[in-house]
Structure 1
Amino acid sequence: MTLEEIWQQYRARLKSFLHSKVSNPADVDDLLQEISIKTFTKLDALDDPTKVQAWLFQIAQHTIVDFYRAKSRSKKVHPDDLWYLEDEKKVLQDFEGCVEPFLSALPLNSVRMLRQIDFEGQSQKDYASKHNISYSTLKSRLKRARSELKAVFENCCHLTLDAQGNISDYRVKSDHCKNC
């Protein structure tokens, strides 16, 4: 896929996304230009052309965050412009109350493993040794347990993840989700 094809297909959506995050239209145009430059310079790094949309919006999200960070360093930022920091805190706070009920939907062995490794910070090697299982078996079980927990979350909400796999946004699927 060429830059021209990508830009023709996604430019309007990117601009709309930028308008939802940045109030000044001139800044939106500047950010759109910056995103196009990043897209051009990093296009060869895109391994899977079927994931171009996610890749573009990840570039856009990082560009917006960089924009606000740079603005905050210049001390000319209004507190309302730091939306991305508040959004991160709010998303995490919203989900804190869901963790316990969602964990209870998992098998007890998965819950113990997730608690000790992900919540209490025990190393995977120590956990494997303590429970007399091989490290590679533990990694497989941990991956499955994390996937099970993610599935429970996704049964209630559409999740948006950042590049590191952290929840950056969510949308509740229905009012019938009773897990949290």
Structure 2
Amino acid sequence: MNIEHIWQEYKYQLERFLQRKVSNPSDVEELLQEILLKTHQQLGTVNQANSLKSWLFAIANNTIIDFYRKQKHLEPFDEEMTVFNESATDLKKALAPCLSPFINALDEQSSQLLRDIELGDSSQKDYAENHNIAYSTLKSRLQRSRGELKKLFEQCCTFELDKHGNIVEFIEKSNNCNKC
């Protein structure tokens, strides 16, 4: 395995991965160079060629984590972030009364699953063990249930999300929705 071949094959994928996680293009370039350097330095630690891609993306992920840790320690207190967090809390409070009627509108299995895992204290692994369900099956059911819940919400409201998928704003579409 040589570094030129590896970089030629995976550079574009790594760059796209970084662009989804980091908004500033110059930071993306800097992180890409850092990943190249780490790859070159640690290439001898890869045991098998078939684990190369996951190894590279693990390096990329750790580099991103380190990047944000450095940012957190370097940046002074940002008052705007406090305002954003307060408005996010207000949005959650405004949507909270709507959650139960939407969950209740789902089929019983999906409804119970979301109540126990999303609203309750049950972890996914505990739920799977207590209900004799394979963990992978539970994860699939949970994803499907979340998708169904999302469809119900989207029938009633339009949501504006930030780059992390958090709700920033919501607007009721019409009086078609009688759940809230």
Bigger Rg over Cα: 2
**For the structure 1 residues 129 and 169, does the alpha-carbon distance in structure 2 shift closer, same or farther, using more than 3 Å as the test?**
same
For residue 113 of structure 1, what is the aligned residue in structure 2? 113
Deviation (angstroms), 1:41: 3.3
The one of 57, 70, 73 equivalent to 2:77 is: 70
Distance verdict in 2 for CA 1:123–1:149, change over 3 Å: same
CA drift of 1:166 comes to 2.8
TM-score by length of 2: 0.55
- Structure 1 residues 129-138 or 160-169, which shifts more? 160-169
1:59-110 Cα offsets, whole Å, 9 max, x none, are xxxxxxx9xx7343xxxx9xxx954233212211110110111111101111
How far residue 164 of structure 1 moved from its aligned partner, in angstroms, is: 3.9
Matched residues, number:
116
Which structure would you say has the larger RCO, counting Cα contacts within 8 Å and 6 or more residues apart? 1
5+ residue gaps, structure 2: 1-22, 32-71
Once the two structures are superposed, the pairs formed by residues 16-27 of structure 1 within 5 Å of their partners are none
State the alpha-carbon separation in 2 of the partners of residues 165 and 91 from structure 1: 14
Structure 1 residue 116: Cα displacement: 1.0
Name the TM-score, length of structure 1 as normaliser: 0.55
Q: Counterpart of 1:42 in structure 2: which amino acid?
A: V
| 2:118 partner letter | D
22, 41, 45: which is aligned to 2:27?
Answer: 41
| Equivalent position of 1:18 in the other structure | none
What residue identity is the alignment partner of 1:139?
K
Trace 1:73-88 onto structure 2 (pairs within 5 A). 83-88=83-88
Q: 1:159 maps to which residue?
A: 159
Give the SS at the match of 1:70. Answer: coil
Partner of 1:135: 135
Q: Deviations over 1:145-175 (max 9, x none)?
A: 0111111111111112334433222122123
Measured in 1, the distance between the counterparts of 2:125 and 2:82 equals 40
Percent of paired sites with the same residue:
39
Find the aligned partners of 1:172 and 1:43 in 2 and give their Cα distance: 41
Amino acid at match of 1:92: K
CA distance, structure 1, for counterparts of residue 113 and residue 29 of structure 2: 40
Amino acid of the residue matched to residue 160 of structure 1?
A: E
Code of the residue aligned with 2:24 in structure 1: it is: K
Query: Structure 2 vs 1, CA of residues 152 and 44 (structure 1 numbering), >3 Å: closer, same or farther?
Result: farther
- Partner residue, 2:40: none
Q: How far does residue 115 in structure 1 lie from its aligned partner after superposition?
A: 1.1
